[in-house]
């Protein structure tokens, strides 16, 4: 497996990954998302994108981990853990003090292994 920081990844590659990993994924243009990212991480096996995680930021000291995704055929192999940790290490190079993540309860153990501690958070669904 090869891990790359903010590689030149195509919409097609990401949409293929998201379509198999997320129920009800609708094809989208990732360019406006990635251009606003602090950085993103892709994992590759035989030139295929099998993992992705995005680190958005507020332009200050807060980064936000979004869209941790691993192709279902490659899950339970530590790829998610590796890409999140690689992203955290890469974010350390910036003047970031905090990385935030919101996740569902069944993902608590995974994100704890990545180094996150639980906090209270609020959420408003606008749809």
pLDDT of residue 124: 84
pLDDT of residue 108: 93
What HEC string does 62-98 produce? EEEEEEEEECHHHCCCCHHHHHHHHHHHHHCCCCCCE
Considering the entire predicted model, what is its pTM?
0.91
Residues 6+ apart with CB under 8 A from 16: 49
Domains belonging to the chain, first-starting first, are 2-113 (3.40.630.30)
For each of the chain's 127 residues, which pLDDT tens digit applies? Answer: 999 999 999 999 999 999 999 999 999 999 999 999 999 999 999 999 999 999 999 999 999 999 999 999 999 999 999 999 999 999 999 989 999 999 989 999 999 999 999 888 877 877 8
Distance CA 5, CA 37 (A): 12
Tell me the torsion sign for CA atoms 54, 58, 63, 64. Answer: negative
CA–CA–CA angle 100, 88, 120 (5° rounding): 20
């Amino acid at each position: 497996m090869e891990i790359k920081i903010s590689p030149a990844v195509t919409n097609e590659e990401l949409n293929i990954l998201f379509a198999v990993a997320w129920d009800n994924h609708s094809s989208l243009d990732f360019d406006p998302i990635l251009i606003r990212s602090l950085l993103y991480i892709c994992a590759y096996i035989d030139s295929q994108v099998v993992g992705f995680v995005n680190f958005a930021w507020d332009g200050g000291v807060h980064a936000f981990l979004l869209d941790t995704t691993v192709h279902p055929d490659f899950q339970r192999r530590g790829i998610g853990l590796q890409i999140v940790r690689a992203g955290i290490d890469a974010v350390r190079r910036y003047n970031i003090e905090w990385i935030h993540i919101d996740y569902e309860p069944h993902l608590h153990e995974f994100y704890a292994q990545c180094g996150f501690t639980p906090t209270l958070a609020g959420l408003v669904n606008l749809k």
